[in-house]
Amino acid sequence: MIWLSFLSYLLLGPVTGLDLDTTSQDSVCDAATLIIDGIMDYYEGIRYGGTVGMFQAPYYWWLAGEVFGGMIDTWYFCENDTYETIIYDALLAQIGQDKDYMPSNQTATEGNDDQAFWGLAALQAAERNFTNPSGEYEDVSWMGLAQAVYNTMWARWDTSNCGGGLRWQIFTWNTGYDYKNSVSNAGLFNIAARIARYTSNDSYAETAETVYNWLRDVNFITLEGDGYQVFDGAKIGTDNCSTLSKSEWTYNYGLLIGGCAYMYNYTEDESWLTEVGRFYEGISATFLNNSIIYERQCQESGTCNNDQRSFKSVFSRMLGATAKLVPDYHDKIMDIITASAQGAASSCSGGSDGHTCGMNWAYGGWDGWYGLGEQISALEVMQNLLIDQHDAPYSYYGGQRTNDTSSTRGGGSSSIDDEAGTDADDDSLNANAMKINSKDRVGAGIITGIVLAIVIALTVWMLV
């Protein structure tokens, strides 16, 4: 299908891409509007029979959380409320019965990383003062939802294998339950760091340090020269996560440099500034082509799957957050964002609409690739050009460890709920067994009876 689209592009003739002035908010927001129009082509939540909060197959649930987190930034940076109701409805439709982003339509397959990306979207809503829940959801807050994700994930911290860490999967029956990966743990680290800054509560910062130190201890984060390498993860096996899967992905680096930036901004501890610098060096050595971001693991070979083609989205968002929160690295990171945004704008020149985005931002035009991942990645890198024209992420108490939480306010309006998610049932927290209720048993009995009757009938028929 990609080559048919590329052939159409060649027959129709090349287009120059989006007309992007990287210094103009109007230009960036005009481009963002066109890109989101393309994103909505994949959204099934407003179609007849569609599920609110879900994009069409083959796009998975986690990516929906990532997309809506990015669209919140468009709402904020561009002051564009066109899709406000859609974002609001989606974020609340998927919270689940325990209000921890474990909805019944996902819990059979949901992984720790999947839940984390919806927690990140809730954090984005809290930090940007997105429209607070009301009506039937008046007892819910964006920060409370993020804290529920944090509490349920932290309850799964597994010290019996590899000395700690989250497994990739929540449920024992899913492939990957025996694997501990960077993205699940980096997601928890990022969430904990951001909640610490929002709430001025050191217990979250302590969790962030625990998770981060574990990632270092098991060598998922490894210092190579002046910069870090971040590897995908390792199976638990018999060697305690010692045999590493050495794939490197942008989103892991993004979640980690972003988490370190929040920790530095909150604690003002120079050691976190050092960590930001090491990730910056690692990023520069691994994911840049003439200052333009690329997904090295799969992009050059043309083997990126639907998930991997979206990884640059959260990476770009976290680069923007780092530039805003860590002035020492502002200019260096903005050089990357600017070059990448210009390349992304050139890539958004495909399709029948003339602004479908591709994957290779250094290509100089549309490369024939298209999809939800390409759209959200281009959106995120372009809109992060605007960080200097807007406030840093809001906090409730001022965002620094030294603040007096009784008086200092940081602009955030989303209420804090430290107990959110703690009353979820044990299966949501640990998920080591499938719940079977009486209805399930009755249903299973009926099915067993039918199957048995068929087997007996076939046996009699064969004997006759």
Confidence of residue 84 (pLDDT cuts 50, 70, 90): very high
Check whether 449 has a pLDDT greater than 70. no
Confidence of residue 5 (pLDDT cuts 50, 70, 90): very low
Q: How far apart are CA 418 and CA 217, in angstroms?
A: 29
Q: Cis before residue 327, ω within 30 degrees of 0? A: no
Q: Which residues does residue 179 pair with via DSSP β-bridges, in sequence order?
A: 235
E strand or H helix that includes residue 372: helix 372-383
Q: Per-residue pLDDT averaged across 106-128, rounded?
A: 97
Q: What is the DSSP letter of 415?
A: P
Check whether 440 has a pLDDT greater than 80. no
Q: What does the pLDDT read at residue 16?
A: 61
Domain boundaries, the chain: 24-446
418, 148 Cβ separation under 8 angstroms:
no
Work out the percent of the chain whose per-residue pLDDT is above 70.
86
> What is the separation of C-alpha 249 from the centre of its chain, rounded to a whole number of angstroms?
13
Confidence of residue 21 (pLDDT cuts 50, 70, 90): very high
22-47 confidence digits (pLDDT tens): 999 999 999 999 999 999 999 999 99
Q: What does the pLDDT read at residue 464?
A: 45
Q: Per-residue pLDDT averaged across 309-330, rounded?
A: 99
163, 217 Cβ separation under 8 angstroms:
yes
The SS3 call for residue 411 is strand
Confidence of residue 399 (pLDDT cuts 50, 70, 90): confident
This prediction's pTM: 0.90
Check whether 439 has a pLDDT greater than 80. no
Q: What is the mean pLDDT of the chain?
A: 91
Q: Per-residue pLDDT averaged across 56-60, rounded?
A: 98
63, 308 Cβ separation under 8 angstroms:
no
Q: How far apart are CA 447 and CA 177, in angstroms?
A: 29
The SS3 call for residue 394 is coil
Could you give the dihedral angle defined by the CA atoms of residues 75, 118, 92 and 72, in that order, rounded to the nearest 10 degrees?
A: 0
Q: How far apart are CA 106 and CA 253, in angstroms?
A: 27
Give the chain's largest Cα–Cα span: 88
For residue 364, CA distances in Å to 18, 27, 344 come to 12, 19, 9
Confidence of residue 291 (pLDDT cuts 50, 70, 90): very high
Confidence of residue 400 (pLDDT cuts 50, 70, 90): confident
Check whether 7 has a pLDDT greater than 50. no
The SS3 call for residue 161 is coil
Q: Specify the CATH architecture of the domain 24-446.
A: Alpha/alpha barrel (1.50)
For residue 190, CA distances in Å to 128, 241, 424 come to 16, 22, 22
Check whether 445 has a pLDDT greater than 70. no
| pLDDT top residue among 17 and 298 | 298
Confidence of residue 428 (pLDDT cuts 50, 70, 90): low
| pLDDT top residue among 439 and 420 | 420
Q: How far apart are CA 310 and CA 288, in angstroms?
A: 16
Q: What does the pLDDT read at residue 424?
A: 74
